[in-house]
Amino acid sequence: MITSLFGDASINSLFPWSALRISLQVTAVATVVIALLGVALAMLLARKHFRGKLLLETLITLPLVLPPSVLRYYLLVVLGRRNPLADVLDLNILFTWQAAAIAATIVGLPLMVQASRAAIVEINPELENAARMEGASDPQVLRHVTLPLARSGILAGLVLGSARALGEFGATLMVAGNIPGRTQTLPMAIYDAVQNRQYHQANMMVLLMTSLAFAGLWFAYRLGHARQDEGEETKVQRAVKTESVEDARTMKEREERGRLAVIHVH
């Protein structure tokens, strides 16, 4: 079966290692930007109320619903020489791997922001306020309270965003091109392999991409279930604590009534 899928040639001769290297390079840069920008935007949307918040949310999520052709046209306009800002700054990154990293960041960022924001919203603000009352600064609260409590959701969003960045094809094709050894990523290499009827090569790349996507989704869902289990455990502990407090209060009231009754008899 393996021979029928990949043919008789060796893996080294079939697999486009340069496409894998460029894909990992683009995904690594996009992941760093997605992590930093995603957490900042999630904190802003989860904890702040300001004019234009709904507009910002819509703009962040827009890449998820826009057709790839529309998104890549916007990127082409922004990164191209027709943009006055790019002309002033002398930016010429079209048809480079950096342009591919920008495209991958834009398509992966909404997933990171949505998951991180949902995790941060679930945190009780009283915990953060208690830390501030103890003298902690806002960066310390973020580092020692908010981020640890929202860790599972943030990691899940980062995995989903990175997986989406790794599989980006449409927007990358227009702004970075499909240059083997320079801007060709795995999705583009799969497209070329199918067009050239190199199905054995395409099978290897498709299997790799499917495995990476499956592993990412599995990890993200596992983090989601772990967060749900932690939430249920916290609710149980809170209920037990509340019940214990009520039992202690009831016992104290009974003791007080007993003491008053003894005083009344005397």
Report pLDDT digits (tens) over 133-152: 988 888 899 899 999 999 98
* Mean pLDDT, range 56-79, rounded to an integer: 89
Domain ranges of the chain: 8-230
Output the pLDDT for position 76: 85
Report pLDDT digits (tens) over 84-142: 766 666 677 888 899 899 999 999 999 999 999 999 999 988 888 888 898 888 889 98
Domain spanning 8-230: CATH superfamily: MetI-like (1.10.3720.10)
* pLDDT category of residue 258 using cuts at 50, 70 and 90: low
DSSP notation for the chain: -HHHHH-SS-HHHHS-HHHHHHHHHHHHHHHHHHHHHHHHHHHHHHH---TTHHHHHHHHHHHHHS-HHHHHHHHHHHHSTTSHHHHHTT---TTSHHHHHHHHHHHHHHHHHHHHHHHHHTS-HHHHHHHHHTT--HHHHIIIIIHHHTHHHHHHHHHHHHHHHHT--HHHHHHH---TTTT--HHHHHHHHHHTT-HHHHHHHHHHHHHHHHHHHHHHHHHHHHHHHHHHHHHHHHHHHHHHHHHHHHHHHHHHHHHHHHHHH-
pTM attached to this predicted model: 0.76
* Mean pLDDT, range 207-212, rounded to an integer: 91
Report pLDDT digits (tens) over 240-256: 444 554 555 555 566 55
Output the pLDDT for position 245: 47
